[in-house]
């Protein structure tokens, strides 16, 4: 498609195991919403709209599961000379560029599922709350290494506030 937004460059992909985190996440969300649907079912008379609700629920989570691998593959990052470029999403595509010098701190977090898969989540915090820069699903050592590299780069390009 001609209108598709694309930025060139050598994209680093996140670990293929990240798919499982997305899948587990959607399954948990599906279970919780299923519980809500069941609760509504017990609550009142089940008419045509109830089945519509169930259909919407099934289609929604079905799509999420089907697209999970593609969503995981769509996440990428590029370490350019002076800034970090991050992409996310397939249908809703978003690119963010953060100059290294703007780094305020870097968070590396691991949830229960990602720990069992040996993955880490890296978050790059700037002084602006809307930056929202996150690279999920990095292998733990790679995340620590990336963090150290980013900190070293930020140190040489410090830009204050």
Partner 1 sequence: MNPLADGQWHRMHPATPLLRGGAALVAIVAIVFANLRERLVDWIARVPDRTREGDPVDAIVEHGWVLWALLGVLVLVALIVVWYRVTWRMTEFRVTTDAVELRSGVLNRQNRQARLDRIQGVNVHRTLFARVFGAARLEIVVAGHDANLGLQYLGSNAAEELRREILRLAHNSDDPVGRRAPDADRAVLDRESNLDRVLRARADEFLTPADLHPDFAPASVVKVHPGRLIGSLILSPFTIVLIAIVVWLVVEVARGNYFLLVAVIPSVFGMFTGYSRRFSRLARYTISGSSNGVRIGYGLLSTSSETIPTGRIHAVEVVQPLLWRPFGWWAIRIARAGRARQRGQAENAWTVLPVGSLEDVGRVLPLLLPASDRGDLLALVDATAHYSRTAHVFSHAPRAAAWLHPLSWRRIGYAYVGDTLALRAGLIYRTLDLVPLARVQSVAIRQGPIRRMLGLAALAVHVVDVRIRPRLSVIGTRAGVELYDQLARSAVMLASRDARS
Residues that bind partner 1 (CB under 8 A): 1-7, 82-83, 85, 89, 91-99, 101-102, 126-131, 133, 157-161
Residue that the structure tokens 């040489």 belong to: 156
Nearer to partner 1, 147 or 157 (CB): 157
> For residues 89 and 118, which CB has a smaller minimum distance to partner 1 in the complex?
89
Least Å from the CB of residue 143 to partner 1:
20
CB of 103 to partner 1, least distance (A): 10
| Residue 141 and residue 158 in contact, taking contact as beta carbons nearer than 8 Å | no
In terms of Cβ atoms closer than 10 Å to its own Cβ (0-12, 13-18, 19+), residue 157 is: middle
Nearer to partner 1, 117 or 150 (CB): 150
The least distance separating partner 1 from the CB of residue 6, rounded to whole angstroms, comes to 8
Query: CA angle 150-153-157, nearest 5°?
Result: 135
Please give the Cα distance from 97 to 14 (Å, whole number): 17
């Amino acid at each position: 498609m001609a209108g598709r937004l694309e930025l060139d460059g050598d994209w680093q992909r996140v670990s293929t195991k990240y798919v499982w985190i997305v899948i587990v996440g959607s399954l948990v969300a599906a279970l919780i919403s299923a519980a809500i649907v069941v609760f509504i079912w017990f609550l009142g008379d089940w008419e045509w709209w109830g089945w519509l609700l169930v259909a919407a629920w099934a289609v929604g989570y079905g799509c999420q599961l089907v697209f999970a691998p593609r969503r995981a593959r769509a996440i990428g990052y590029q370490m350019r000379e002076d800034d970090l470029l991050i992409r996310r999403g397939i249908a809703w595509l978003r690119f963010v560029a953060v100059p290294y010098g703007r780094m305020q701190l870097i968070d590396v977090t691991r949830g229960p599922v990602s720990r069992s898969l040996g993955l880490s989540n890296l978050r790059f915090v700037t002084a602006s709350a809307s930056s929202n820069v996150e690279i999920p699903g990095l292998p733990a050592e790679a995340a620590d290494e990336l963090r150290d590299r980013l900190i070293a780069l930020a140190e040489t390009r410090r830009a204050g506030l």
